[in-house]
């Protein structure tokens, strides 16, 4: 289970001698507020692993995503946003918090106190499936959810509302235009944050709020 490295930790890593991060562009896609929030719709391309938040023909946010692996695919079809939860934790995957250790585990295998893996900016479109902040790999890696980069998940969360249409298909018309010129993040292989932070409320508090262009 991987979680994007918050930007405020990057200077600390650079001081520790990590030169690779200085050469890697920061992934932070531009986002725009809608003129009419009722016109916002979401399209997801599974093959391209791209999310298009549109207001009619106007793109509000175009960002890379990570979708489900073949054994746990992201469902296709027409959906609507049914629930939003800023500080959600997983009910299936997380950590067993013991007296002297914090151990990654599934909830069915947890001994001690179970704390779910953080899934900030949760936007549910089908029972058990949603968009959320997480590592965005170049290949499918999730258990069916749609992961968004740490710098873009908050923007997506703010742009949609309960009832926003979500269309998920193998391909989308925007793949050949918007998707073709949109970069992908390169930080998917960075290490997770310490388990002690991942299991604490402080984890949610250190996430930066989204920034929009006018």
For 178-209, the pLDDT digits (tens) are 999 999 999 999 998 999 999 999 999 999 89
Looking at domain 36-84+119-189, what is its CATH homologous superfamily? L,D-transpeptidase catalytic domain-like (2.40.440.10)
pLDDT at 5 over 50: no
**6: pLDDT confidence band, cut at 50, 70 and 90?**
very low
Model pTM score: 0.88
For position 117, what pLDDT does the model report? Answer: 96
Q: Over the stretch 99-129, which tens digit does the pLDDT of each residue have? A: 889 999 999 998 889 999 999 999 999 999 9
Structural domain boundaries in the chain: 36-84+119-189
Instruction: Look at residues 134, 118, 145, 127 and name the one whose alpha carbon lies nearest to residue 185.
Output: 134
**22: pLDDT confidence band, cut at 50, 70 and 90?**
low
pLDDT at 23 over 90: no
* Strands laid side by side in the 129-133 sheet: 77-80, 165-169, 40-45, 50-55, 58-66, 146-148, 129-133, 113-126, 83-97, 102-106
Is residue 93 within 8 Å of residue 106, measured between CB atoms?
yes
Give mean pLDDT, residues 66-88: 98
**Mean pLDDT, all residues of the chain:** 90
Give mean pLDDT, residues 69-74: 97
User: What percent of the chain lies above the pLDDT cut of 70?
Assistant: 89
């Amino acid at each position: 289970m991987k979680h994007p490295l918050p930007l405020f930790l990057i200077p600390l890593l650079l001081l520790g001698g990590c030169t690779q991060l200085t050469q890697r562009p920061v992934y932070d896609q531009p986002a725009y507020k809608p003129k009419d929030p009722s016109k916002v719709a979401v399209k997801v391309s599974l093959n391209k692993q791209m999310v298009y938040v549109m207001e009619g023909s106007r793109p509000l946010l175009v960002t890379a995503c990570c979708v489900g692996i073949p054994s746990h695919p992201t469902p296709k079809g027409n959906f609507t946003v049914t629930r939003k939860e800023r500080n959600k934790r997983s009910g299936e995957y997380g950590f067993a918090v013991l007296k002297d250790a914090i151990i990654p585990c599934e909830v069915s295998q947890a001994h001690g106190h179970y704390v779910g893996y953080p899934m900030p900016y949760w936007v549910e479109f089908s029972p058990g499936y949603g968009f959320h902040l997480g590592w965005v790999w170049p290949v499918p890696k999730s258990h069916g959810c749609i992961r968004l980069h740490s710098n873009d998940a908050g923007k997506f969360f703010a742009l949609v509302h309960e009832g926003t249409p979500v269309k998920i298909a193998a391909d989308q018309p925007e793949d050949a235009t918007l998707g073709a010129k949109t970069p992908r993040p390169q930080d998917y292989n960075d290490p997770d944050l310490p388990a002690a932070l991942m299991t604490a409320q402080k984890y949610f508090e250190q996430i930066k709020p989204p920034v929009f262009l006018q």
